[in-house]
Amino acid sequence: MDFEVVLTLLTLTGLEIILGIDNIVVIAIIAATLPVHQREKALIIGLSLAMITRLLLLFSLSWIAGLTAPIATLGTFEISGRDLLMLAGGVFLIVKAVTEMHAAVAEEGEHGGGRRATSFRNALAQIVMLDIVFSFDSVITAVGMANQLWVMATAVIIAVIVMLIASGPIIRFIHVNPSVKMLALAFVLLIGVILCADGFGYPIPKGYLYFAMMFSVFVAGLNIIWSRRVERRAAARAAAENGDAKSESATA
């Protein structure tokens, strides 16, 4: 291993982690629809399948090349297998995000809970389908950056391990903060729109998506900090008023 190989491995691993951010958000949202005792299991199985999918795609580069070849033409627009896959994944994410948003609003508007949990098999099937969609960008990036197959495979494995470590705290944070869950669903909706645009031949640079996500998370974080400080001040004020009332009654 020379310095150039190590540098390529580190750079590719970083890019794989960045490209996996949208995958983590989507898997966390799907896992959040499961009962609490099944969420951790769904995350582990889902991300393990994501790693297996990426490795299988790396070892079948000729099949990937076939998917990028046009299979139909509509006027000047050529449709490939990859385009159809991106369109299917994008439409699914849009429908999923809108459905989850509607369910979340309906829960709060009616009785604040009681929603039926998704079955484990159904959630796992959704995760597997989306793993395939999200794996393409990851594999194409790896092939474009490295020549050695073991470097690509190592970067993918390390990235999925990091995603697995990060996904647990993310899903717990989303579950505890309902406003953050709605923000995460908005991210899923945005990812679906980007996948559809890519499928129609108008790819949107991922940098725009990541900037929007980081800025939204920053604003949401400030809002959470401000809300908690307001709650603490209100609790302290109420405690002080109760103390004053008790002292006045004792004096009387």
Does 230 lie in the same domain as 183?
Answer: no
3-class secondary structure, 1: coil
Does 81 lie in the same domain as 172?
Answer: yes
Tokens of 139: 């594999």
Does 234 lie in the same domain as 195?
Answer: no
Does 218 lie in the same domain as 197?
Answer: no
pTM of the model: 0.67
Does 210 lie in the same domain as 134?
Answer: no
Does 48 lie in the same domain as 96?
Answer: yes
- The DSSP H or E segment spanning 147 is none
Report how far residue 249's alpha carbon sits from residue 252's, in angstroms, rounded to the nearest whole number: 5
Report how far residue 49's alpha carbon sits from residue 165's, in angstroms, rounded to the nearest whole number: 15
pLDDT per residue, tens digit, the chain (252 aa), is 577 778 878 887 877 777 777 777 787 778 777 887 887 888 788 778 878 877 887 777 656 666 667 777 777 777 887 788 788 888 888 888 888 788 777 765 554 444 555 778 888 888 877 777 777 767 766 766 666 778 888 888 888 888 778 777 777 777 677 677 778 788 888 888 888 888 888 888 777 777 887 888 788 778 878 888 888 888 888 877 776 666 666 665
Report how far residue 12's alpha carbon sits from residue 211's, in angstroms, rounded to the nearest whole number: 20
Report how far residue 131's alpha carbon sits from residue 64's, in angstroms, rounded to the nearest whole number: 15
- Taking a C-beta distance cutoff of 8 angstroms, is the pair 160, 47 a contact? yes
Does 163 lie in the same domain as 66?
Answer: yes
The domain tally of the chain equals 2
Report how far residue 28's alpha carbon sits from residue 235's, in angstroms, rounded to the nearest whole number: 33
Q: Which residues of 57-96 are buried (b: 16+ CB within 10 A; e: fewer)?
A: bbeeeeebeebeeeeeeeeeeebbbbbebbbbbbebbbeb
Does 212 lie in the same domain as 127?
Answer: no
CA 144-215-36 angle, to 5 degrees, is 85
Does 237 lie in the same domain as 144?
Answer: no
Which domain-ending residue is among 204, 220, 238?
A: 204
Q: Which domain holds residue 164?
A: 3-204
Does 128 lie in the same domain as 83?
Answer: yes
Does 105 lie in the same domain as 60?
Answer: yes
Report how far residue 29's alpha carbon sits from residue 167's, in angstroms, rounded to the nearest whole number: 10
Does 100 lie in the same domain as 219?
Answer: no
Task: Determine the length of the chain.
Answer: 252
